Amino acid sequence: MAGRRAVFLDRDDTIMVDAVYTEDPEDVRLLLGAAEGIRALADAGFLIVIATNQSGLGRGYFTEEDLAAVNGRLRHELRARGADYDALYYCPHQPEDTCDCRKPKPGLLLRAAADLGIDLDASYCIGDREWDVEAGRAAGMRTILVTNGQHGENLGVQPDHVASDLTEAARLIRTSQASRTEVAE
Q: Which residues are the active-site residues?
A: 10, 12
The pair phi, psi for residue 28, each rounded to 5°, is -75, 120
User: For residues 27 and 19, is the Cβ–Cβ distance under 8 A?
Assistant: yes
Neighbour count for residue 59 (Cβ, 10 Å):
12
d(CA 150, CA 13): 9
User: Radius of gyration over alpha carbons of the chain, in Å?
Assistant: 16
d(CA 100, CA 110): 10
The pair phi, psi for residue 35, each rounded to 5°, is -65, -40
